[in-house]
């Protein structure tokens, strides 16, 4: 192609950026969705959208009912209470509520009558396979990384039986119980045939590595991952830090996959809210710095939950090429914060990060999470490429396309391919 044909005039740059952000397919590197082979574990549909834990937490700002009574209700009844509190008695202007409506709107569901039962009826016409394809099309997502726990009984049995993989779904090996509650997990490993003891002896460590190796071979995960509390420390004498140092890091190095750390959860701030009861805490990021510095041949990927940690995390990524940062997670997945964080990351890291992951727990959420994120990312990039063009460096269409592909999964693929020798 004649390069002259793709040269843009300065006033065409914004439209080219908007267009590239809108049409570039996304590799979603962290979700809680499942390959359809996992059956009921893949959540979808209006009642699942309404009972998403983000909305449960918000609804209890209005619902005057003991928490325990709410949890005793069937899911459909919970969904009705949330619909009534967050959509009927109050206008649904929070990000999570707006998300349900963006999803329904893009699916073509008429919500003007505010009639939950007619919305439910619309969903009954779908089968799951078609619905996955439709949701991915509308979200413009090309691949979905799952969160896969060998410690989940339902999930475990599907892996053990084996199944033909749906190529759109990749795996992430989630090992929270191993690192966070060794006291209650080692007996489980023993039961599964790994000759571990409570004490982290050399033999126990080698058996933990055998466990990780077996599951890595079974799942072919893109990374090993853990979500950590806000008091995470490394190095430390506790079991979590010891297992990371002696088992997880050597395992990730051996298999050439990153270790994903997601610190900043303050677990069960309100246990009565169950899954919706976790909160946020600032992390001492020297733990991540120490990991990156001590194991420069191991790859780490990190997202942090606290807004106050974001700048420090960006600076860390400038210091360590074995650190890739990603996503605006959970309480940060709001347009004002995604805007601020993405802007800061572009300014400090250029294109060498992954601005967003969906964290979708319900399939349909892919639609709104990516629709909303694309809007914000587009706005930030239009401004940044505009500033670039003002210097006289006018990007071509190909350069813009290349850059957006990096932000939507390419930079992450490049990071995973690093050899770090």
Which residues contact Zn ion (rule: CB under 5 A)? Answer: 359
> Which of 261, 389 has the CB closer to Zn ion?
261
Residue 337 parent element (H or E): helix 335-349
CB of 199 to Zn ion, least distance (A): 32
Beta carbons within 8 Å of 298's beta carbon, 6+ residues apart: 249, 252, 253, 258, 259, 291, 322, 420
> Which of 33, 86 has the CB closer to Zn ion?
33
> Which of 359, 401 has the CB closer to Zn ion?
359
Nearest Cα residue to 166 out of 187, 149, 143:
143
φ, ψ of residue 301 to 5 degrees: the values are -120, 140
Nearest Cα residue to 58 out of 332, 362, 337, 273:
273
CB contact at 8 A, 363 and 36: no
> Which of 155, 359 has the CB closer to Zn ion?
359
> Which of 17, 42 has the CB closer to Zn ion?
42
CB of 327 to Zn ion, least distance (A): 9
Distance CA 207, CA 316 (A): 33
CA 380 centroid distance within chain:
21
> Which of 24, 147 has the CB closer to Zn ion?
147
> Which of 102, 333 has the CB closer to Zn ion?
333
CB of 359 to Zn ion, least distance (A): 4
3-state DSSP assignment of residue 148: strand
Instruction: Give 247-294 as a DSSP string.
Output: IIHHHHHHHT--EEEEEEEETTSSGGGGGGG-EE----THHHHHHHHH
CB contact at 8 A, 139 and 164: no
Upper half-sphere CA count for residue 381 (Cβ side, 13 Å): 26
Closest chain position to Zn ion (CB): 359
Distance CA 342, CA 329 (A): 12
CB of 362 to Zn ion, least distance (A): 13
Q: Enumerate the β-bridge partners of residue 226.
A: 261
CB of 371 to Zn ion, least distance (A): 19
CB of 227 to Zn ion, least distance (A): 7
CB contact at 8 A, 243 and 208: yes
CB of 325 to Zn ion, least distance (A): 15
Using CA atoms in the order 64, 65, 68, 71, what is the torsion angle rounded to 10 degrees? -90
CB of 53 to Zn ion, least distance (A): 11
> Which of 207, 359 has the CB closer to Zn ion?
359
CB of 30 to Zn ion, least distance (A): 6
Residue 259 backbone zone (phi > 0: left; psi -120 to 50: alpha; other: beta): beta
DSSP-derived pairing of the beta strands 279-280 and 259-266: antiparallel
Place of tokens 């995973």: 416
> Which of 159, 329 has the CB closer to Zn ion?
329
Using CA atoms in the order 177, 415, 385, 98, what is the torsion angle rounded to 10 degrees? -20
CB contact at 8 A, 385 and 13: yes
Show the tokens assigned to 281: 């805490």
CB of 124 to Zn ion, least distance (A): 29
> Which of 327, 409 has the CB closer to Zn ion?
327
> Which of 359, 403 has the CB closer to Zn ion?
359
CB of 32 to Zn ion, least distance (A): 6
């Amino acid at each position: 192609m004649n390069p002259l044909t793709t040269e843009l005039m300065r006033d065409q740059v914004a439209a080219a950026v908007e267009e590239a952000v809108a049409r570039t397919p996304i590799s979603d590197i962290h979700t809680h969705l499942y390959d359809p082979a996992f059956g009921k574990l893949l959540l979808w549909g209006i009642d699942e959208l309404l009972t998403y834990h983000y909305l449960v937490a918000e609804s209890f700002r209005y619902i005057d009912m003991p928490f325990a009574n709410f949890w005793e209700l069937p899911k459909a009844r919970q969904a009705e209470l949330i619909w009534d509190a967050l959509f009927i008695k109050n206008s649904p202007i929070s990000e999570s509520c707006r998300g349900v409506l963006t999803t329904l709107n893009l699916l073509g569901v008429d919500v003007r009558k505010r009639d939950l039962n007619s919305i439910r009826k619309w969903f009954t016409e779908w089968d799951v396979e078609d619905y996955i394809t439709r949701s991915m099309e509308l979200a413009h997502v090309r691949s979905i990384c799952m969160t896969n726990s060998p410690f989940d009984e339902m999930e475990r049995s599907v892996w053990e039986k084996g199944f033909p993989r749906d190529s759109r779904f990749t795996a992430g090996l989630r090992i929270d119980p191993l690192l966070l509650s060794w006291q209650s997990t080692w007996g489980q490993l023993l039961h599964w045939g790994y000759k571990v003891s409570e004490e982290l002896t050399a033999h126990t460590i080698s058996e933990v590595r055998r466990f990780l190796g077996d599951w890595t071979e079974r799942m072919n995960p893109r990374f090993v991952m853990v979500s950590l509390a806000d008091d995470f420390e490394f190095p430390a004498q506790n079991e979590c830090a010891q297992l990371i140092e002696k088992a997880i890091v050597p395992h990730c190095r051996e298999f050439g996959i990153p270790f994903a750390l997601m610190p900043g959860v303050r677990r069960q701030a309100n246990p009565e809210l169950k899954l919706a009861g976790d909160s946020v805490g600032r992390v001492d990021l020297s733990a991540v710095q120490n990991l990156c510095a001590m194991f420069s041949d191991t790859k780490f990927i990190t997202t942090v939950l606290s807004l106050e940690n974001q700048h420090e995390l960006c600076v860390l990524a400038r210091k360590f090429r074995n650190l890739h940062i990603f996503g605006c997670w959970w309480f940060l997945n709001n347009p004002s914060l995604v805007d601020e964080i993405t802007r800061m990351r572009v300014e400090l890291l250029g294109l060498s990060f992954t601005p967003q992951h969906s964290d979708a727990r319900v399939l349909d959420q892919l639609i709104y999470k990516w629709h909303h994120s694309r809007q914000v990312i587009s706005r930030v990039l239009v401004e940044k490429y505009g500033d670039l063009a003002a210097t006289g460096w006018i990007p071509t269409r190909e350069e813009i396309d290349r850059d957006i592909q990096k932000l939507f999964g390419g930079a992450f693929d490049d990071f995973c391919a690093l050899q770090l020798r």
